[in-house]
Amino acid sequence: MTLELLTDLATPITRGILLGGLYVVIALGLSLVFGVMKLINVAHGDLVIFSSYFAFFAMTSLGVDPILSLGMSMPIMFGIGFAIQKYILNRSFRVSMDASLIVCFGISLILENVYQIIWTPLSRGLTTGYALKSFAVGAVNIPLVYLLDFIAGLAVMFFLREFLGRTYMGKAIKAASQDHRAAILMGINTERIYGFAFGLAMAFAAVGGVCLGLTFPFTPTSGPQFLIIAMGVVILGGLGSMLGTFIGGMIFGLAQCVGGYFFGVAAQMLVAYVLVFIILAAIPRGLFGR
Amino acid sequence: MRLDTSLLRGRWTPLVIAIVVLAVLPVAGAPATWLLYLFLFFVYLAMANMWNLLAGYSGLICLSPAAFIGLGGYTLVIITWSGLPFYLGIIAGGIVAAIFAIIIAYPLFRMRGIYFAIGTLVVPAALQVVFLLWRPVGGELHGGGAGYMVKGLTGITTTDTYWMALAIAAISVFLMRVILNSKLGLGLAAIRDNDETAGSSGINVFRTKLYSFVIAAFVMGIAGGVFYTYQGYIEPNSAFNISWLMTLLMATVIGGEGIEDGPIIGAVIVVILHFLLAKYAGLSLLIQGVILVVVMLVVPQGIMGLIRGGGIHRSVRKLITGRR
Amino acid sequence: MSQEMLLRVNDIDVFYGSLQVLWDISLVVNKGEYVAVIGANGSGKSTLFGAILGEVHPAKGSIGFKGKDITGLTPFQIVGLGISLVPEGRRLFPDMTVLENLIIGSYTRKARSRREESLGRVYKLFPRLEERKKQLAKTLSGGERQMLAIGRGLMSNPTLLIIDELSLGLSPIAINDIYESLKQIRGEVTILLVEQNVQRSLKEADRAYVMEAGHIVLSGKVENLREEERIRKAYFGVKN
């Protein structure tokens, strides 16, 4: 009996671990902004979906493969992110942190409505040829896109680590997130750094959006679901710990896939939500973070 | 709760007059559209007052009003489907919401600041899935869909629902006045400013927050019940929708957070917007979002704050003391 | 010692909101000098340096550096011009290594190209930093932290180095070591030192200013100040 259970579980477990990559990508963008600006961008999920819709647009109207469309969407989203930070969020920080939260909410509303107008509430997906392929490793059946998610997670993580560690800009971002005043005293223009960090987070969101669109169907209101999961990943993994975020992503992927196996696909999100809630209540500082 | 009644005397007259006038309107033959506008205004006002109590006065940025409102609605459904009268359903709705609030308060209040906000965000999202999957009464619906009609509503006129809404709105205003002038109100003000130091001055932070949280949940549950009595049906996507939060956010932000009369102006404007934008149904969220952003950046103290000439808004105080 | 004026604070008032904290402060630092600012807690010393660095803007008066008016500039611009502040409490980047802290010190464009040279200088001055270069800043001892803070300040290749509260929290041996090291860089960098430890700072400085409750109450060459009653009064409770 147990052996059978284990073999049956092998697929959801593997899928869960691979799916974690998607959540890592989404969470890293959120975590970057939170670490540097101490702001939870509640529009982050919707911004990820922006990329999903952009890729959808590229696919259906321009005939460009979603992954290739990243070549366009990443710089565009970087620019959008920089602009949002510079012209809107910056001003809101001067009012109060709560104001920033509410402004992000407003942005989330605006985005969701725009999606609804342009693409209707109908569910969409990035249905390319390879999006439907899967391959088998022994008894385990793995959709190709899950593997892509995992690779994306690793790639983004690796890029971020190198960027933060080796470039002046990256070090400046780290510095600004650890001690804002001291960073200024180093000659760092923290406002510009914030803009850059947010833009970078948006570039990651671009990657996340394409992966998401390939993995799940999405609607104008899909954003908040992934925001909540990303929050859970960030807190579970602990701020500032990339390894932690990676493991957190895996855990959420696992929770979802294994939970879906036991409770049905419809309950997948619920499992994730409950997990987030428990994490928030139990571990205010995350497992790995400071 | 000790009441400082000397402060209250004299401020009640305009309120009482207003209530009497409003109550008489339907009997005096006011047009149905007016009644509808006012009905929505009352419902939103009750909810906005409570949201203001939490966010503006207790420092609890609660993103889960939809949870209490939806629970109020679903309790109404369960009660009416069990053959009991609807008004019991409404009251039970408030009670269920309040009990739910007590239960989730324990894990929620462990979360600080932004984590609390996200925690409250999760709650209605989770409830939405729960009610999508769970059918508390009745059998499988033909043709899918997770909604319910509210039963037991025969014989209820628009006037009846109007009066119920007026009642809960009046109660919410009354509650706000009483609470803010009581010991509870002082405790909340201390917590809002800094909940760590409030604790060290002898205030039981948890219990104080709990009181306002539960009271808010109760009123929102009742307002939800009243709303769904009028609407006649409920379904999980709209019941636990973030649009409730948006509406309340708009009302409090535009009216003035942390200001007692703020929600009144805010609710008025929200209802006006609601009907102005009814034509542009697709764009209404967008416009609301833009308004929200613009107001937060340009007039963060809200209209009442502006009128009062910078009535002490939390954020201004934060700017001066440098606390972020 | 050349008398070329490097820093000139001209009669400034500084307010926090509606609360005035500095009154009519005037201060001059000439190139190559070693100037001390002395005063008890709350005398306004740190605010003064916040003003010089552009973190707060004076309500009246002006601040000039190398002949240029820097009043109203942003801190990162001022740092770019050649002033480096080692802040009170050190304010290191706790989760970055010693090396990373030093490198970020050379963030400004000018400093970046001379990074390796500056790094060599800092290591020569504080060999212990080189030993510990891979360690996280938060694991260092008090004295090492101050060395790192000063080293980091030097990485931007400043013309004027301002050190706020050098000896706070340090053992006498550590204080001594650091002062000795500072002697070595005197020729290359102009130093403005802020201290509660009057005795030690007067030992090294050329000139000093004494602050009390937001005013400068005394100033001049150190040899003239030493006997002044007010110096002794300027820090009640601390051993002479």
C90-112 pLDDT tens trace: 889 988 899 999 999 999 888 88
Q: Which pLDDT tens digit goes with each residue over B43-67?
A: 999 999 999 888 888 878 888 999 9
Task: State how far residue C82 is from chain A, nearest Cα, in angstroms.
Answer: 10
Under DSSP, is residue A229 helix (H, G, I), strand (E, B) or coil? helix
Task: State how far residue A18 is from chain B, nearest Cα, in angstroms.
Answer: 24
Handedness of CA A216, A220, A221, A224 (dihedral sign): positive
Residues of A in contact with B60 (CB under 8 A): none
Compute the distance between CA of residue B214 and CA of residue B209 in angstroms, rounded to an integer: 9
Indicate which of B114, B134, B287 best probes the interface with A, i.e. most A CBs within 10 Å of its own CB. B114
Q: How many beta carbons lie within 10 A of that of residue C214, not counting itself?
A: 20
Residues of A in contact with B296 (CB under 8 A): 92, 95, 99, 102-103, 106
At C187, the pLDDT band (50, 70, 90 cuts) reads confident
Residue B152: inside a domain: yes
Residue B121 to residue A117, Cβ atoms within 8 A:
no
Residue C47: both structure tokens together: 């605010």
Residue B107 to residue A278, Cβ atoms within 8 A:
yes
Residue C120: inside a domain: no
Residue B107: inside a domain: yes
At C189, the pLDDT band (50, 70, 90 cuts) reads confident
pLDDT of residue C237: 42
pLDDT of residue A284: 60
Going from the C-alpha of C165 to that of each of A232, C91, C105, C196, the distances in angstroms are 42, 12, 19, 7
Q: How many beta carbons lie within 10 A of that of residue C147, not counting itself?
A: 25
- Per CB distance under 8 Å, which residues of A are interface residues toward C? 168, 171-172, 174-175, 178-179, 181-190, 240, 290
- Note whether B75 and B96 are within 8 A (CB): yes
> Phi, psi (5° rounding) for residue A141?
-105, 115
CATH number (domain holding residue C221): 3.40.50.300
Mean of pLDDT values over C71-78: 88
Taking alpha carbons only, the member of C207, C151, C196 closest to residue C178 is: C151
Taking alpha carbons only, the member of A95, C114, C78, A205 closest to residue B294 is: A95
At C1, the pLDDT band (50, 70, 90 cuts) reads very low
Greatest mean pLDDT among A199-203, B109-113, B265-269, C225-229 lies in A199-203
Lowest mean pLDDT among A270-274, B1-5, C38-42, C70-74: B1-5
- Note whether B292 and A105 are within 8 A (CB): yes
Lowest mean pLDDT among A54-63, A177-186, B28-37: B28-37
Indicate which of A169, A171, A186 best probes the interface with C, i.e. most C CBs within 10 Å of its own CB. A186
Lowest mean pLDDT among A21-25, B92-96, C187-191: C187-191
Q: Which chains touch C (3 or more CB pairs under 8 A)?
A: A
At A268, the pLDDT band (50, 70, 90 cuts) reads confident
- The total of structural domains in chain C comes to 1
pLDDT of residue C108: 86
Q: How many beta carbons lie within 10 A of that of residue A23, not counting itself?
A: 30
Compute the distance between CA of residue A120 and CA of residue A138 in angstroms, rounded to an integer: 41
Out of C85, C103, C111, the one facing A171 most closely (by C-beta) is C103
Residue C108: inside a domain: no
Beta strands in chain A (DSSP E): 134-137, 140-143
Taking alpha carbons only, the member of A50, A253, A23 closest to residue A154 is: A23
Residue B115 to residue A38, Cβ atoms within 8 A:
no
Out of B112, B121, B282, the one facing A116 most closely (by C-beta) is B282
Mean of pLDDT values over A68-82: 92
pLDDT of residue C227: 66
Under DSSP, is residue B10 helix (H, G, I), strand (E, B) or coil? coil
Q: Is the pLDDT of residue C233 over 90?
A: no
Range of the domain at C42: 5-88+159-233
Kindly provide the b/e burial profile for residues A100-135, where b requires at least 16 CB atoms within 10 angstroms of the residue's own CB.
Answer: bbbbbbbbbbbbbbbbbeebeeeebbbebeebeeee
> Residue C38 forms beta bridges with which residues?
C195, C210
pLDDT of residue C230: 58
Compute the distance between CA of residue B301 and CA of residue B319 in angstroms, rounded to an integer: 13
C85 touches chain A (CB under 8 A): yes
C84 touches chain A (CB under 8 A): yes
Residue C137: inside a domain: no
Residue B282: inside a domain: no
Sheet with C160-164: strands ordered across = C83-86, C160-164, C190-195, C34-38, C207-212, C215-221
Task: State how far residue C240 is from chain A, nearest Cα, in angstroms.
Answer: 32
At C234, the pLDDT band (50, 70, 90 cuts) reads low
Lowest mean pLDDT among A118-127, B84-93, C104-113, C197-206: C197-206
- Note whether A93 and A100 are within 8 A (CB): yes
Under DSSP, is residue C92 helix (H, G, I), strand (E, B) or coil? coil
Q: Is the pLDDT of residue C236 over 70?
A: no
Residue B289 to residue A98, Cβ atoms within 8 A:
no
Compute the distance between CA of residue B220 and CA of residue B71 in angstroms, rounded to an integer: 9
Residues of A in contact with C103 (CB under 8 A): 168, 171
Residue C114: inside a domain: no
- The total of structural domains in chain B comes to 1
Task: State how far residue B119 is from chain A, nearest Cα, in angstroms.
Answer: 6
Lowest mean pLDDT among A200-204, B150-154, B241-245: B150-154
Residue C156: both structure tokens together: 């931007």
pLDDT of residue B119: 87
Q: Is the pLDDT of residue C240 over 80?
A: no
At B308, the pLDDT band (50, 70, 90 cuts) reads low
Greatest mean pLDDT among A116-125, B131-140, C218-227 lies in A116-125
Provide the angle, in degrees to the nearest 10, between the axes of the packed helices B242-255 and B262-276.
120
At A190, the pLDDT band (50, 70, 90 cuts) reads confident
At A50, the pLDDT band (50, 70, 90 cuts) reads very high
Q: Is the pLDDT of residue C228 over 60?
A: yes
Task: State how far residue B241 is from chain A, nearest Cα, in angstroms.
Answer: 10
> Residue C7 forms beta bridges with which residues?
C29, C65
Compute the distance between CA of residue C168 and CA of residue B123 in angstroms, rounded to an integer: 48
Compute the distance between CA of residue A255 and CA of residue A232 in angstroms, rounded to an integer: 12
Compute the distance between CA of residue C17 and CA of residue C147 in angstroms, rounded to an integer: 35
At B10, the pLDDT band (50, 70, 90 cuts) reads low
Residue C145: inside a domain: no
Mean of pLDDT values over A223-249: 87
Under DSSP, is residue C224 helix (H, G, I), strand (E, B) or coil? helix
Average pLDDT, whole number, for chain A?
87
Chain C residue with CA closest to A165: the answer is: C100
Task: State how far residue C79 is from chain A, nearest Cα, in angstroms.
Answer: 5
Taking alpha carbons only, the member of B86, C199, C93, C124 closest to residue A180 is: C93
Compute the distance between CA of residue B84 and CA of residue B239 in angstroms, rounded to an integer: 22
- Note whether A104 and A45 are within 8 A (CB): no
Q: Which pLDDT tens digit goes with each residue over B22-34?
A: 887 777 777 777 7
Residue C36: inside a domain: yes
**What residue type is assigned to position B19 of the chain?**
I
Mean of pLDDT values over C40-64: 86
pLDDT of residue C239: 45
pLDDT of residue A76: 94
Beta strands in chain C (DSSP E): 5-16, 19-30, 34-38, 60-65, 68-69, 83-86, 160-164, 190-195, 207-212, 215-221
At A285, the pLDDT band (50, 70, 90 cuts) reads low
Residue A187 to residue C91, Cβ atoms within 8 A:
no
> Phi, psi (5° rounding) for residue A264?
95, 150
Q: Is the pLDDT of residue B198 over 80?
A: no
Residue B320: inside a domain: no
Q: Is the pLDDT of residue A267 over 90?
A: no
Residue A281 to residue B111, Cβ atoms within 8 A:
yes
Q: Is the pLDDT of residue A175 over 70?
A: yes
Going from the C-alpha of B275 to that of each of A248, B41, B89, B279, the distances in angstroms are 45, 11, 29, 8
Helix, strand, coil percent content, chain A, rounded in steps of 5: 80, 5, 15
Residue B266: inside a domain: no
Lowest mean pLDDT among B81-90, C63-72, C102-111: B81-90
Average pLDDT, whole number, for chain B?
80
> Phi, psi (5° rounding) for residue C85?
-110, 125
Task: State how far residue A245 is from chain B, nearest Cα, in angstroms.
Answer: 17
Residue C126: inside a domain: no
Range of the domain at B216: 5-241
Residue C95 to residue A178, Cβ atoms within 8 A:
yes
pLDDT of residue A65: 86
Residue C19: inside a domain: yes
Mean of pLDDT values over B234-249: 84
Out of A188, A189, A290, the one facing C95 most closely (by C-beta) is A290
Q: DSSP letter at A130?
A: G
At A12, the pLDDT band (50, 70, 90 cuts) reads confident
Q: Which residues contact C223 (CB under 8 A, 6 or more apart)?
A: none
C103 touches chain A (CB under 8 A): yes
Under DSSP, is residue C228 helix (H, G, I), strand (E, B) or coil? coil
Compute the distance between CA of residue B299 and CA of residue B262 in angstroms, rounded to an integer: 13
Work out the burial of residue A236: count CB atoms within 10 Å of its CB; fewer than 13 is exposed, 13-18 middle, 19 or more buried. buried
Chain C residue with CA closest to A184: the answer is: C76
Complex ipTM over 0.85 = no
Compute the distance between CA of residue B320 and CA of residue C14 in angstroms, rounded to an integer: 15
Residue A184 to residue C76, Cβ atoms within 8 A:
yes
Compute the distance between CA of residue A190 and CA of residue A204 in angstroms, rounded to an integer: 21
Compute the distance between CA of residue A283 and CA of residue B61 in angstroms, rounded to an integer: 20
pLDDT of residue A43: 93
